[in-house]
Chain A
Amino acid sequence: MNVEAPDQRLSEKPRAEKPAEPAEAEGTRRKRKREGAAWVFLSPWLLGAAVLTLTPMLVSLYLSFTEYDLFTAPEWVGLDNYVHMFTEDPRYWRSAVNTLVYVLVAVPLQLAAALAAALALNSIGRGKGFYRSAFYAPSLLGASMSIALVWRALFNDGGTVDDLLSSFGVNMGGWVNQPGWALLVVALLTIWQFGAPMVIFLAGLQQIPGELYEAAEVDGAGRLRRFRSVTLPMLSPVLFFNLVLQTIQAFQVFTPAFTVSGGRGGPADSTLFYTLYLYDRGFTASHMGYASAMAWVLLVVIGIVTALLFRSSRSWVFYNDKG
């Protein structure tokens, strides 16, 4: 695993900073001293990572090859969990497909919404602070269960949205309780919480030098052309960062689906996301071994998707430091 990547970087930094120290011995001693201090400061994190993260991860890897019901000792079953998952469990595939659909719908729309809001906020002068907070607020609220409950009530049979549409003659009879709509309602909740990527976009937009726009304007580029030829390429590293982050998060979506569907991933498994089914297998059905195996498959899949994103970034992400 790459858990140690960040500290290696930290410990290497001082080395790279002093290329030509006249007194070699003096430099090594100081370097060692600084490295030592770095390790001391890192130790709480390292300890936590080793005890609270790395160990449970390894245990979970072991458990994924066992049948473990929490009460009796884990029983080694080899690859049974993985075989069952891929060949005998229709609900597993359903949860995988649901999650994929969700990722493909929610992530692009959320990023588009975030970018649109960031562009709008970047161009206004007065009341900047107010609007920024207003757009960011849903992200803060969304972390809690309560907003998902409100969402459920809004889109339920006889809920506010339903009543409102009924008064226009559109009688849906609720959204969260119908298999064709529930997934979209959950996705909508995520899209609405575009605050975090928006702030990052905003920071990225403010890094783009004004002279590029001026030059483009002199060359006769219109608004759209300036956006396409200046903003997008200059923003592409930030876009890439947001894309990777949001994709990984979307794969692991749990709370909104759990709350909106009342914990079952219904109606008719339409919001049974991967993590929801994982939780169900582990904590309701007491198949911790199976749940662990599911978690590892998810890890590998997210790893592959992330790797593909990184690979694709070569062709569309523009780094100005290439020189």
Chain B
Amino acid sequence: MPDKSPKQRTLPRTGIKASALTFAVLTLCGLLAGCGAGTNGSAGGEVELQFSWWGNADRAAATNEAVDLFEQRHPNIEVQTSFSSYNSYIQKLATQAAGGNAPDVMQLDYRQISQYASSGLLLPLGDRPEVGTGKVGSGMLRTGQVRGTQYAIPMGRTSQVLVYDSAEWQRVGVSEPRLDWTWRDWSAAMRELNENTGQAGSTDPGWSEDWFEVWLRGRGKSLYTDSGELGFDKSDLAKFWSFTNGLSQRGAVSPARQTTQIDGSAANMPFGRGNAASGITWDSAVGGFQALIGDSLRLAPLPSGPDGTPGQYFKPSMLVGVSANSAHPEEASQLVDFLINDPEAGDVLGVSRGMPVNQDIREDITPSLSGLDERIADFQQRLEGKLLDPPSAPPSGDLALQTTFQRDYDHVGFELRTPRRMAEQFLTSVRSELQQ
């Protein structure tokens, strides 16, 4: 055997210590650096507009066609478009806006409006003569206002919906939902479905602030008041959660281990997976279920309050706003007006952003709709004039509270905490979010 000195046989002590330390320092640096702010500069050309939105390829095709039409009408304007999926769009836009590089024209979510407007990132559109809003219903228009100023215009409207498989309901002999059913009727139907099919009647609505809002409005309350204060108290939430969790425990709606996996996509909803006889969603998201359930898919409104007060409302599926930093506010406003009011643009865009908010365009395109689009249009038609005005845009902290709501309900669903205890905890989070 060759003679080796002991030093070569094992790794030297200092080497190991130094490598471990270096590694420790480097990885930690990466972690901390992730929380820094980032900026990057870009300069505007002549009349060149940036327009960005979230959506899928269908929406992109329709939007690009409409933008081409706009460029034909205004040869001096060139519009650069970009789009991505919802989650990455929200984060990307926030980063751009933080660096002062928000696009001239941007699609916005209802929950973003307050934060963007109060941070001075949006151009007030009320005093722009280019933007016509005469054909948009006043209740709908109000959803783009923050403290009385119009910062954004809704682009399409959607509403809460209970989707169900009518063939299945008929097969098990449960009568289909009526337009004016109440939460009591709903829970009776859920229990009946459960008894007749052996599976849950619907998704447990307790997981989402959206469905809690419908329940609250049916009782004459709201998530937030117009001035951004809380519109309900601890006992309201505790009552709602006791109600939904009670149904879940007896099998009438989905069990906690299914409810916890809901993420908005049809494929992860108990209804979409064939574990429940109905589901609760937005009518703009029904398309995902059509593929899973088929042509017997039907739409019904969410239940109303005890005295018949409807809880659901027409919500903007998305809004459009102009950056306060835009170098071309006039041209940007023209583009906004074109997207909302131009009949030809309306034809091209169709229902790619939900039912159009412009009354004339809505009536214009409705006859040409078919299949699921037609059923959605019909659903909204039946609700027309029966619903209360939508609430004002939620305050900025609401974006964070949405996930907190779902997390807190998990503890109720898995019976780790009582509804009352979790309602209390949720309200503590609300207070700390709204304070800021």
Contacts and interface: CB of A to CB of B under 8 A. Distances in A.
Given A70-B94, A71-B97, A173-B257, A237 B11 contact: yes
Nearest to A158: B273
A63 B35 contact: yes
A266 B407 contact: yes
B370 interface: no
A84 B429 CA distance: 12
Contact of A284 (B31, B403, B410, B425): B403
A285 B33 contact: no
Contacts of A1: 25, 29
Report whether over half of chain A's contact residues are helix, strand or loop; otherwise say mixed: helix
Interface in B248-273: 256-258, 260-261, 263, 268, 273
A3 B25 contact: yes
B187 interface: no
B101 to A, nearest CB: 13
B23 A245 contact: yes
A264 B407 contact: yes
B171 interface: no
A249 B4 CA distance: 35
A68 to B, nearest CB: 8
Contact of B17 (A52, A55, A59, A310): A310
B119 A284 contact: no
A286 B35 contact: no
Contacts of B42: none
Contact of B32 (A238, A248, A296): A296
Size category of the binding interface on chain A: 35 or more
B24 interface: yes
Given A57-B32, A267-B410, A291-B35, A90 B425 contact: yes
Given A2-B25, A157-B257, A248-B24, A237 B10 contact: yes
B436 interface: yes
Given A268-B411, A295-B35, A71 B400 contact: no
A186 B399 CA distance: 27
Interface in B380-436: 396-397, 399-400, 403, 406-407, 410-411, 413-414, 416, 425, 428, 432-433, 436
A70 B6 contact: no
A9 B97 CA distance: 43
B7 interface: yes
Contacts of A291: 35
A60 B25 contact: no
Interface string A274-291: 010000101111111001
Contacts of A56: 32-36
Interface string A69-95: 111100000000000100010110000
A70 B95 CA distance: 7
B98 A249 contact: no
A225 to B, nearest CB: 21
A321 B399 contact: no
A233 B20 CA distance: 19
Contacts of B4: 209
Size category of the binding interface on chain B: 35 or more
A177 interface: yes
Contacts of A264: 403, 406-407
B16 A321 contact: no
Nearest to B417: A268
Interface string B17-53: 1111111110111111111110000000000000000
B9 interface: yes
A209 B34 CA distance: 45
B258 A302 contact: no
A67 interface: yes
A291 B37 CA distance: 12
A174 B257 contact: yes
Contacts of B97: 70-71
A291 B256 CA distance: 30
Nearest to A310: B17
A60 B32 contact: yes
Given A207-B9, A268-B260, A295 B98 contact: no
A207 B97 CA distance: 56
A296 B35 CA distance: 10
A269 B7 contact: no
Given A57-B36, A285-B397, 9 more contacts: A2-B25, A63-B36, A84-B432, A157-B257, A240-B20, A244-B23, A266-B407, A272-B407, A287-B436
Chain A to chain B: the 10 pairs with minimum beta-carbon distance, closest first: A56-B36, A285-B400, A71-B119, A56-B33, A267-B260, A268-B410, A177-B257, A244-B20, A70-B98, A320-B10
Interface of A: 1-3, 5-6, 9, 49, 52-57, 59-61, 63, 67, 69-72, 84, 88, 90-91, 156-158, 173-174, 177-179, 204, 207-211, 234, 237-238, 240-241, 244-245, 248-249, 252, 262-269, 272, 275, 280, 282-288, 291-292, 295-296, 298-299, 302-303, 306, 310, 319-321, 323
25 contacts: A2-B25, A54-B29, A55-B36, A56-B32, A56-B33, A67-B436, A70-B37, A70-B98, A72-B119, A88-B428, A158-B273, A177-B257, A177-B261, A208-B9, A245-B23, A248-B27, A264-B403, A275-B31, A285-B433, A292-B35, A295-B31, A320-B6, A321-B7, A321-B10, A321-B12
